[in-house]
Amino acid sequence: GNSVTQMEGPVTLSEEAFLTINCTYTATGYPSLFWYVQYPGEGLQLLLKATKADDKGSNKGFEATYRKETTSFHLEKGSVQVSDSAVYFCALSDYGDTGRRALTFGSGTRLQVQP
Amino acid sequence: GAGVSQSPRYKVAKRGQDVALRCDPISGHVSLFWYQQALGQGPEFLTYFQNEAQLDKSGLPSDRFFAERPEGSVSTLKIQRTQQEDSAVYLCASSPLGVAGDTGELFFGEGSRLTVL
């Protein structure tokens, strides 16, 4: 079946530091890949996505590249801000074993940015 | 509405009580999903509707869990005889297209946090 593995948190950084959150996946087909973000007290929001190999998703200074050869979709940002503090979820969408397309999520990585 | 709306936001139930959680998806969205998110974990799939048809309920953890979407818009997730292990945030998500032709992006509500005492 499909699965997503992402690095455990919390990740604690100082403002303007470089961020990497690792994500690898296992899928039976050709999934689309996503990063969702959950700010305190809010629902999950799509941060960025990539639908095929070598695609780069980007939004709000965050980037992730779909690497089929390493089955990875690592999230990066060059300079984090306090407002980036949130929980980040890597996810894939594929038809899987049931023929139904749905998102499979990783366990989430909490990012804490200190001023 | 503008986004996916869920109610109640918070529900405290005594063990053995029945609860009902409501989801109002984005208008016109065909697909509707329910997910369960335990504390510190990622969301886990429960069930999926395409319009009023429940096409997949493989993630429902027991027969105490039941979901419906009778008119293809609002959905209700019902949990009978709640147990402490049912404590979690229940997320509803919708998307505008059916299975074919979409990238899989889902639009989530803020969730209903259920605490079973």
Quote the pLDDT of residue B106. Answer: 86
**Nearest in space to A7 (alpha carbons), one of A103, A109, A82, A98:** A109
pLDDT per residue over A19-57, tens digit each?
999 999 998 778 899 999 999 888 899 999 998 899 999
**Nearest in space to A38 (alpha carbons), one of B94, B85, B76, B40:** B40
Q: Are A89 and B55 inside 8 Å of each other by CB?
A: no
pLDDT per residue over B61-86, tens digit each?
999 999 999 999 999 999 999 999 99
Quote the pLDDT of residue A94. Answer: 76
Percent of chain A with pLDDT strictly greater than 70: 94
Quote the pLDDT of residue B100. Answer: 46
Residues within 8 A of A (CB atoms), B 30-49 only: 33, 40-45, 48
Q: Are B104 and A103 inside 8 Å of each other by CB?
A: yes
User: CA of B89: which chain A residue's CA is closest?
Assistant: A43
Contacting residues of B for A49, CB less than 8 Å apart: 103, 105
* Better-predicted residue by pLDDT, A97 or A7: A7
Tokens of A98: 């049931």
Strands (E) in chain B, as ranges, are 5-7, 10-13, 19-24, 31-37, 44-50, 53-56, 65-68, 75-79, 88-95, 107-108, 112-116
